[in-house]
Chains A and B, each alone.
Chain A
Amino acid sequence: GSSGINAEYGLVCSTQFTAKKKKSFGDVQDKAVLDLGAGCGILSIGSVLLGAGSVTSVELDSDAIQDLQNNIKEFEIDNIDIIEGDVNSAVLRPNFKFDTVLMNPPFGTKKNEGIDMKFLEAALSAITSSGAVYSFHKTSTRDFILNKFQSRGLSVEVIAEMKFKIPNMYKHHKKKEVLVNVDFIRISGKSAAKGS
């Protein structure tokens, strides 16, 4: 994801969840859900509204946490617990498993290459063998992701293709924002996978 995410993608997410009722709805309702890099909490709040049994939000940025808490108040949400911490630093004990991870990880920059993959690895290690990871990734990384995880025996589905507005980081570019093609993917099948 990016810091420029607005509520529109949240609406799209919930549309995807309801459209895929049999699979996706079943991944959230009454389930233990983990939101890695929760940001302002769209996915966490959406999970509560879809009837999650519990929602745990991990976020590192204190401004984002402030937004998350404000949104929790504004939506009058219960049952979200927030952990201020780094997704990649093993705060969760290895034997505690969630049913579902939802996340909108950073896409990765030259300085922070591979952070999107680190989030996926962290997410996959946090779920039960029958659990699922839902995540957003640049469409340009689709083949890499499909290869990487399918070769381990995992199931990877592209559920939706979207466009995200990303604020432009580089001063020399003329446009203030760029549109990035993004895949919303679901990874599951840990029980069939090698070395899980």
Chain B
Amino acid sequence: MKLLTHNMMRSHCKGVVNGFPLKLSSTQVDVKEIEFNPDFINRMLSRLEWPAFVQIANELGVGEGLPEMLPVEQKFEDEDVLKKIHHVLLEVEVVEGELECPETGRKFPISGGIPDMRLNEDE
């Protein structure tokens, strides 16, 4: 599970108001090299929940160098900053771990890099 994916998911348990961000605990985190595409990164910035992204990066210990806030124009010219964001967004992968609904505490396992977001019918 990339941190991009974490940023796009929320809990859909019954009765949940917001469900975002999902809490994360991880037992195995890998890094996989992905081709750097600065235009793509810049285009994604306005779609991210930036504070949640920075928070989860810090929790995983990979947040150093990430800007605390996005500039008004929601773009960076500086390629080093974009490379850093690219690394954290796309190259860090949670292989084994667990997501947790912030409102109900319901756990969603992550195994083989895949979060299992399935709910039972009554949930």
CB neighbours of B43 from chain A (8 A): 30, 32, 53
What are 25 A-B interface contacts by the 8 Å CB criterion?
A: A30-B40, A32-B40, A54-B2, A54-B40, A54-B90, A60-B118, A79-B35, A79-B90, A81-B2, A81-B5, A82-B113, A83-B5, A84-B114, A84-B115, A84-B116, A85-B116, A89-B12, A89-B117, A91-B10, A92-B8, A93-B9, A93-B20, A93-B49, A95-B47, A96-B47
Assuming the A-B contacts A78-B32, A81-B1, A93-B20, are A56 and B8 also in contact, with contact meaning beta carbons closer than 8 angstroms in the complex? yes
Q: Is A165 at the interface (CB under 8 A from chain B)?
A: no
CB neighbours of B115 from chain A (8 A): 83-85
Which residues of A, 5-64, contact B by the 8 Å Cβ criterion? 30-32, 53-54, 56, 60
Bound together, the chains give a CA A75 to CA B114 distance in angstroms of 19
Bound together, the chains give a CA A79 to CA B86 distance in angstroms of 12
Could you tell me if B112 and A69 are in contact, using CB atoms closer than 8 angstroms?
Answer: yes
CB neighbours of A65 from chain B (8 A): 114
CB neighbours of A186 from chain B (8 A): none
Q: In the complex, how many angstroms separate the beta carbon of B107 from the nearest chain A beta carbon? A: 14
- Count residues of B near A (Cβ-Cβ below 8 Å): 32
- Count residues of A near B (Cβ-Cβ below 8 Å): 25
Assuming the A-B contacts A54-B90, A93-B20, are A81 and B4 also in contact, with contact meaning beta carbons closer than 8 angstroms in the complex? yes
Q: Is B17 at the interface (CB under 8 A from chain A)?
A: no
CB neighbours of A92 from chain B (8 A): 8-10
Q: Is A90 at the interface (CB under 8 A from chain B)?
A: yes
Interface string of B7-45 (1 = CB under 8 A from A): 111101000000110000000000011110101100110
Which residues of A, 89-111, contact B by the 8 Å Cβ criterion? 89-93, 95-97
Could you tell me if B116 and A53 are in contact, using CB atoms closer than 8 angstroms?
Answer: no
Q: Is the interface of A mostly helix, strand, loop or mixed?
A: loop
Which residues of B, 65-123, contact A by the 8 Å Cβ criterion? 90, 112-119
Could you tell me if B112 and A79 are in contact, using CB atoms closer than 8 angstroms?
Answer: no
Could you tell me if A53 and B44 are in contact, using CB atoms closer than 8 angstroms?
Answer: yes
CB neighbours of B113 from chain A (8 A): 81-82
Bound together, the chains give a CA A93 to CA B113 distance in angstroms of 20
Assuming the A-B contacts A54-B90, A91-B9, are A85 and B40 also in contact, with contact meaning beta carbons closer than 8 angstroms in the complex? no
Could you tell me if B39 and A82 are in contact, using CB atoms closer than 8 angstroms?
Answer: no
* Extra inter-chain contacts (18) besides given A54-B90, A79-B35, A90-B10, CB under 8 Å: A30-B39, A30-B40, A32-B40, A54-B4, A54-B44, A60-B118, A78-B32, A78-B34, A81-B4, A81-B5, A83-B115, A84-B116, A84-B117, A86-B118, A89-B117, A90-B12, A91-B10, A96-B47
Bound together, the chains give a CA A109 to CA B118 distance in angstroms of 22
